[in-house]
Amino acid sequence: MAVPKKKTSVSRKGLRRAGQHHKMYRKHPFSCPNCGSHILPHTVCSACGVYKGKEVIVIKDDVEAEAAAE
C-alpha cells in the first residue's frame, strides 16, 4: 500500500482542490435573436424581455412609466 512520505500541507491541498471544485467558468455573452443586445446564456433579455423566442416579460418604456405615474 502506498503511504505518503511527508505530510501534505494545507495550502498544497487547497491548491489541488481549487482546480477541481472552484473553477471560474467564462460566461460567453451572445446576441439576442430578437433585438441584438448582448445577453448571457439561459437568461431573459433585459432589453426586450424575450426568452427562447417568446415574450416572457413586458418592458415598459420611460414615456409609458411617466404617464402611468402621473
**Residue 55 lies in domain:** 27-69
Q: Grid coordinates standing for 36?
A: 441584438
Is residue 54 in a domain? yes
Q: In terms of pTM, does the model score above 0.95?
A: no
Kindly state whether residue 62 falls inside one of the protein's structural domains: yes
| Domains contained in the chain, number | 1
pLDDT for 22 equals 59
Q: Kindly state whether residue 14 falls inside one of the protein's structural domains.
A: no
What's the confidence (pLDDT) of residue 19? 66
H-run or E-run covering 65: helix 62-69
Can you tell me the distance from the alpha carbon of 22 to that of 16, in angstroms, rounded to the nearest whole number?
10
* Model pLDDT, residue 44: 92
Q: Domain for residue 50, yes or no? A: yes
Does the residue 6 lie in any domain? no
18 domain-assigned? no
Q: In the chain, which stretches have pLDDT less than 70?
A: 19-26, 62-70
Q: Mapping DSSP to helix (H, G, I), strand (E, B) and coil, where does residue 69 land?
A: helix
pLDDT at 6: 94
- Euclidean distance between CA atoms 50 and 58, whole angstroms: 9
